[in-house]
Amino acid sequence: MTLNGRLPRWFAALTTMVVACGAAVAQTKEVTFAHQDMLVPLRTVMESGELEKATGYKINWRMFGGGGDVIRAMASGDVKIGEVGSAGITAAASQGQDIKLFWILDDIADAEQLVARNGSGVNSVKDLKGKKVATPFVSTSHYQLMAEMKGEGVDTKTVNVMNLRPPEIAAAWERGDIDAAFIWDPVLSKIKANGKTLATSGSIGKKGYPTFDGLVVDSKWAAANEAFMVGLIKVLAKADAEYRANAAQWTADSSQVKAVAKWSKADAKEVPAAMKLYKLPSMEEQMSATWLGGGAAKALANTAVFLKEQGRIQEVKPSYADYVTTTYLQKAMAK
């Protein structure tokens, strides 16, 4: 019973607090998602708005030039989810960053390549001595470049390895400022027009240095937004499955390829061939021992050993399993 038909002050104050808290919860249904320029089916999801429709979240898509940039943005708290290569994930985990790898965006296979510019005098990896080679640092390309040179007996100190982002590599190549580059599409297709492939991510992977691109998330944010995470995985799996089943229909003039080109800043004519260089694990394959079920953590551990040898990280964790999760994938598969 209220006095004179009015609500007590304490009740009014409580009501205001409840409303405010409700508004705060509603405002959390927004996330910044960092992406790069890899040519993957996720770009069609970005174009269609399907993830927003499926989850009710507002997605702020932000493009970054490399995995190192993504990791730094996640460390600052500005970004909660991001696309990062296995070398970048390893570096972040080794530094104790509270992230989880929850989805294999792609098995890089032959999608990244070491290319020597025509006229550079470089015809083999051994010829890189004294030359300028560009790659984005703390990327899968950087990791495999160093591994390949070491494997071929090239002293890395005799090679001028330059830290350039993909657009910077394209510009430097055009000017003739660099002799070789280890990079992915869309820049890869551009430089191959005036260059020779010396090695691919697939050929180096078979020597014991496999690489992949993954999606990582801030651990605490993921736990507090489980429904979004499950919805995201279902949308990702659907997009990948549609590509695997209909790859031949993804032609330069198709809406899917136009979407990939738009979000990756690529030439639509080069997208179909470039996408075929990647492999996209299914949900079942993601869960297997090859990937999130154990293989990914092992790959991170092996990468860490190499990165420490190169002075890129300070320590190797006893295990990298804590930085990989199947929680959200399992729940997505169960629904």
CATH number for the domain harbouring residue 122: 3.40.190.10
172 shares a domain with 95? no
Query: Is 14 contained in some domain?
Result: no
197 shares a domain with 82? no
- What is the rounded CA–CA span in Å between residue 105 and residue 55? 20
pLDDT tens digit sequence for 68-111: 899 999 999 999 999 999 999 999 999 999 999 999 999 999 99
pLDDT tens digit sequence for 264-313: 999 999 999 999 999 999 999 999 999 999 999 999 999 999 899 888 89
78 shares a domain with 123? no
Instruction: Categorize the per-residue pLDDT at 8 as very low, low, confident or very high, splitting at 50, 70 and 90.
Output: low
Domain limit, last residue, from 205, 227, 244: 205
232 shares a domain with 328? yes
| Predicted pLDDT of residue 309 | 86
Q: Which of 334, 331, 327 is nearest to 101 (CA)?
A: 327
250 shares a domain with 167? no
201 shares a domain with 251? no
240 shares a domain with 305? yes
- What is the rounded CA–CA span in Å between residue 187 and residue 165? 10
Query: Is 21 contained in some domain?
Result: no
Contacts of 39 (CB under 8 A, 6+ apart): 111, 185, 186, 260, 264, 266, 271, 274, 275, 278
249 shares a domain with 224? yes
58 shares a domain with 172? no
Domain limit, last residue, from 177, 205, 233: 205
* Domain extent at residue 271: 27-107+211-334
103 shares a domain with 157? no
pLDDT tens digit sequence for 19-70: 444 434 444 799 999 999 999 999 999 999 999 999 999 999 999 988 989 9
- What is the rounded CA–CA span in Å between residue 45 and residue 67? 21
Domain count, the chain: 2
- What is the rounded CA–CA span in Å between residue 80 and residue 250? 31
50 shares a domain with 122? no
Which residue is it, tokens 């890129």?
312
